[in-house]
Structure 1
Amino acid sequence: MKSNNNLEDINGLDPESWEEMRELGHQMIDDMISFLKNIHHEPSWKEIPEDTKAYFKEDLPEVPQNSKKVYQEFKRYILPYNKGNIHPRFFAWVQGSGTLMGAYSEMLAAVMNPNVTIGEHAAMYVDEQVVKWCKQMLNYPNSSSGILLSGGSMANITGLTVARNSHANSIREYGIQKNNKKLVVYCSEETHSCITKAAEIIGIGNKFVRKIKTNSEYEMDCDKLLEQLLLDIKEGLQPFCIVATTGTVNTGAIDPLEDIYNICKKYNLWLHIDGAYGALAKLDPNIAPKLKYIELADSVAFDLHKWLHVPYELGCLLVKDADNHRSTFAITPNYLLQTERGKRISWRFRCH
């Protein structure tokens, strides 16, 4: 077979016409700017018509689709029926709106299409820098590690996995059945349901998630927490983690972090903070004193797509003990070995 060294003759995934795609891209940007500029004139939510829902039941296309036609379908069937969280009158749940600059950034990242777990390239340093900034925002130790994830639920699951392994370091080799004692995690009855899901996923089981009653301010009642903790110890169970919430979904309550921290220190428990909603309130000088003990937690999960309005989805987990974080997940097969030169591979496993 005759080789062809002329790259211009190799189409691959390139568009048939770069200029048509340039024109379409400009049209998309103009349309989206107008959409955001004028969205306050529209209702915050529109009911999806049945004929629109029927469009999404069409079969998989078997031939290439025209890009302009696909974009027109987007404008007709998708854009008018968005969730509404980008609207100034959207008050449901705890959801950020995104920004126009965030949308531009998404495009730039998609063009580069980087994998930030492997190789020596600039995107890895951006990822590392963002984690560093997250530490600085919460005044977390520079020696700690961190990872960017899809959101608070994944950040909490990851944090509880590190907490579990720190108290049962044989789990990676022998599984959770190696332990003679049942592990127990504590949180308030107002804690997000992802903590229960996390306990199920990492093998703790929801029966061993102790949901502690709250006080009149919907904060975890530390007297009841201590009572349950001592009862579990007496019954031969193994408490390993307390999850404190900074900003519950129902009321925005902040658990008594100092009291919970002192209990964790006394009984050698991991303090994990679910700050998905409210941890970044630490940037407000008026609220920061109440969130001081975030700095002392073993791990903290929070979202950047809420108060910081970063486009969905982006959460962060910070772990004080970087070695614990790495040992929970790291594995190095031969195709991920580091080299002295060339396309170097980092150990990071997306932990900084």
Structure 2
Amino acid sequence: MADRSSPILSSSLDPVGEQWDDLRRVGHEMLDEMFDNLMTLREQRVWQPLPDTIREGFRHTDVPREGQDVHAFAKAFREEVLPYSVGNRHPGFMGWVHGGGTPVGMLAEMLAGGLNANLGGRDHAPVEVERMVLRWAVALMGMPDTASGILVTGSSMANFIAVIVASRAVEGGLALRNSGVGLRPLVGYAATSAHGCVSRAFDLAGLGSEALRLVPVDKDFRMDTAALQEMIAADRKAGREPFLVVGTAGTVDVGAIDPLDEIGAIAREEKLWFHVDGAFGALARLSERFAASLATIGQADSLAFDFHKWAQVPYDAGCILVRDAQKHAAAFAQNLNYLSREDRGLAAGAPWFCDFGPDLSRGFRALKVWATLSVYGTQRLGHMVERCCDVAQYLAARVDREPTLELMAPVTLDIVCFRLVATGMTDEDADVFNGEIVKDVQESGLAAPSTTRINGRLVIRAAIVNHRTQEEDVDRLVDTVLACAERRRSGGA
């Protein structure tokens, strides 16, 4: 008779006997290596290109038929992945609005993986943890305690959910769940500076990206509310049906904050759904310095933001809050036999999170949010937000002092856009020059800015979102930019 305890014949994937001890040792070694890696980030390169040999190995390795020793997996991760990640943990990473993560968040992610809870629904402790985290988010953002919410992958999904809820909240809108949106000429509004995921949300919602009207911005890159009112009036006159206006708290290009007070007032007057995309800027409310300027967020009908940006929660951890929980649920809830809700037992605890978004299978994102907020506290996180903004102002001042650099936009929060003055070049050649400098800086491993376009010109963009970034890091960025520029000008590139 076959030995049913054999790891080869057993259907269980758990270790057997002493294999547990071996796995424990490997696990502790990997955890210690990650702590050591985090402790020595400043000694490492911000980013380095993935070698072709490793890239080709990933692209041409066949699906494993036989399992390998866990030590081999640990070695492959250590040598082929860890040194070549995107670099956003590093204090020199400033290119995109990525949080840096924390050791506490890393531990919470590990625990969530071990628990392997599905938060689509049912009655269990992880669901209550997410409800607690959402209740905290509602309080932090100044929304009423009757508001609903859900944790999602990020603000792209959060904005998509907001567009869906807003379109179903119009008169007769719930019928769209069955009939589709083709017969309703719904249109919405956002500034030209709005994140591209808002346009994509209109596309995915079946409204079409052209149904999102892009409103001009003023000299400070904030939505022009007079233009907004004119566009609403023109659309109504043309027989279209305005239903939504999106204000941005922290634009992706320059970090500007739209005039949310004015936009909210127009939305109320025009009976439009008022949504705020606060992907990173909403969390500036954690700071006493910025809370007042973002007070209107609490008056929004819905709000999207990311814990994985300024709150430093590991990816991914986005959030959507909706003022009217009934309208939120009405846009997504389903009655299915295999998802019946009971008054007790494991199928109790309705409403479930699958009633508030498109996902039935959902991971335990709330654990790392809970860990981060409870261990560090909102006061410390608010101070961290202020420090990021202080470092951004320091960078802006440094740029102003350099004769070969120019600041290209006001610094509202933590994003600094600047450009090398390319004397004797056309604007197009200067764009190419600045773009090449950014790639040079990234490949140096000393800093990682990115680019964007301001008034049609390509600029260097530094977003100070990482809690580890200090003045010395932005000085290194500027020094490296200047050194790379000088090398190119002298023909050394």
TM-score for the superposition, normalised by structure 1: 0.95
- Counterpart-to-counterpart distance in 2, 1:263 and 1:347: 36
- Counterpart-to-counterpart distance in 2, 1:195 and 1:67: 43
- Counterpart-to-counterpart distance in 1, 2:36 and 2:182: 58
Contact preservation (8 Å) 1:45, 1:81: yes
1:177 matched to 2:188? The reply is: no
Q: 2:250 aligns with which of 238, 247, 250?
A: 247
TM-score for the superposition, normalised by structure 2: 0.68
One-letter amino acid of the counterpart of residue 213, structure 2: R
1:148 matched to 2:151? The reply is: yes
Match of 1:302 in 2: 305
Contact preservation (8 Å) 2:264, 2:300: yes
Q: 1:238 aligns with which of 236, 241, 253?
A: 241
1:130 matched to 2:133? The reply is: yes
- Counterpart-to-counterpart distance in 2, 1:276 and 1:211: 19
Q: 1:59 aligns with which of 49, 59, 62?
A: 62
Secondary structure in 1 aligned to 2:289?
A: coil
After superposition, the CA RMSD in angstroms is: 1.8
- Counterpart-to-counterpart distance in 2, 1:342 and 1:274: 38
Match of 1:277 in 2: 280
Shift of 1:18: 0.4
- Counterpart-to-counterpart distance in 2, 1:171 and 1:143: 26
Secondary structure in 1 aligned to 2:288?
A: coil
Shift of 1:165: 0.6
1:312 matched to 2:305? The reply is: no
Deviates more, 1:104-113 or 1:9-18: 9-18
Match of 2:387 in 1: none
One-letter amino acid of the counterpart of residue 42, structure 1: Q
Match of 1:31 in 2: 33
Deviates more, 1:294-303 or 1:49-58: 49-58
CA deviations over 1:228-250 (Å, ceiling 9, x no partner): 11000111000000000000011
- Counterpart-to-counterpart distance in 2, 1:257 and 1:117: 33
Match of 1:18 in 2: 20
CA deviations over 1:120-153 (Å, ceiling 9, x no partner): 2111111111111111111111101000000010
CA deviations over 1:298-348 (Å, ceiling 9, x no partner): 000000000110000000000000000001000021222222332233333
Shift of 1:10: 5.9
CA deviations over 1:160-200 (Å, ceiling 9, x no partner): 10001101221012111343xx1001000000000000000
Contact preservation (8 Å) 1:243, 1:273: yes
- Counterpart-to-counterpart distance in 1, 2:154 and 2:73: 29
Secondary structure in 1 aligned to 2:253?
A: coil
Contact preservation (8 Å) 1:170, 1:178: no
One-letter amino acid of the counterpart of residue 88, structure 1: P
One-letter amino acid of the counterpart of residue 176, structure 2: I
- Counterpart-to-counterpart distance in 2, 1:11 and 1:205: 48
Fraction of identical pairs, as percent: 38
Contact preservation (8 Å) 2:144, 2:323: yes
Shift of 1:206: 1.4
- Structure 1 residues 1-352: aligned runs within 5 Å: 12-16=12-16, 17-57=19-59, 58-167=61-170, 168-179=173-184, 182-350=185-353
Aligned length: 346
CA deviations over 1:11-49 (Å, ceiling 9, x no partner): 611123100011011101111111111111011111111
CA deviations over 1:255-301 (Å, ceiling 9, x no partner): 00111111111110000000002001112222112111111100000
With over 3 angstroms needed to count, the CA separation of the structure-2 counterparts of 1:146 and 1:104, relative to structure 1, is same
Gaps of 5+ in 2: 357-493
Contact preservation (8 Å) 1:336, 1:345: no
- Counterpart-to-counterpart distance in 2, 1:333 and 1:169: 18
Contact preservation (8 Å) 1:117, 1:348: no
Secondary structure in 2 aligned to 1:170?
A: helix
One-letter amino acid of the counterpart of residue 56, structure 1: F
Deviates more, 1:88-97 or 1:332-341: 332-341
Contact preservation (8 Å) 2:255, 2:281: yes
